[in-house]
Amino acid sequence: MKRARSFLMSKNNREILTWVGGGLAAIIAGLWAAYVHFTTPDKPLASGLSTTATCGSVAMGSASGSTITAGNTGNCSAGQKPEVKP
């Protein structure tokens, strides 16, 4: 433990470790981006999906090839709860 502390106390060693750590992080991020870009998804995306957000609610779903509708339908009130669809 004393050797590690004395190693880290040197400013030059800390600077080198900073560069090595930053370089490893950049390499790992680049490899991950390449993996995600070049691999194909296991299942095809479903088509014809629809996502609707009303009364200021938030909707989540696959946006690829989907119809997304957002806005006030005119019947929103302060106590109204958003409609939940499975």
Asked if residue 29 and residue 7 are part of one domain, the reply reads yes
Per-residue pLDDT tens over the stretch 27-69: 999 999 999 999 877 765 555 566 666 666 666 666 666 666 6
This prediction has a pTM of: 0.45
Does 77 map to a domain?
no
Does 85 map to a domain?
no
Q: What distance in Å separates the CA atoms of residue 10 and residue 83, rounded to the nearest whole number? A: 61
Asked if residue 33 and residue 49 are part of one domain, the reply reads no
Of residues 38 and 25, more confidently modeled: 25
Does 76 map to a domain?
no
Q: What distance in Å separates the CA atoms of residue 79 and residue 22, rounded to the nearest whole number? A: 51
Confidence at residue 28, expressed as pLDDT on a 0 to 100 scale: 98
Confidence at residue 63, expressed as pLDDT on a 0 to 100 scale: 61
Q: H helices of 1-86, where?
A: 2-9, 11-38
- Closest by CA to 66, choosing from 52, 54, 51, is 51
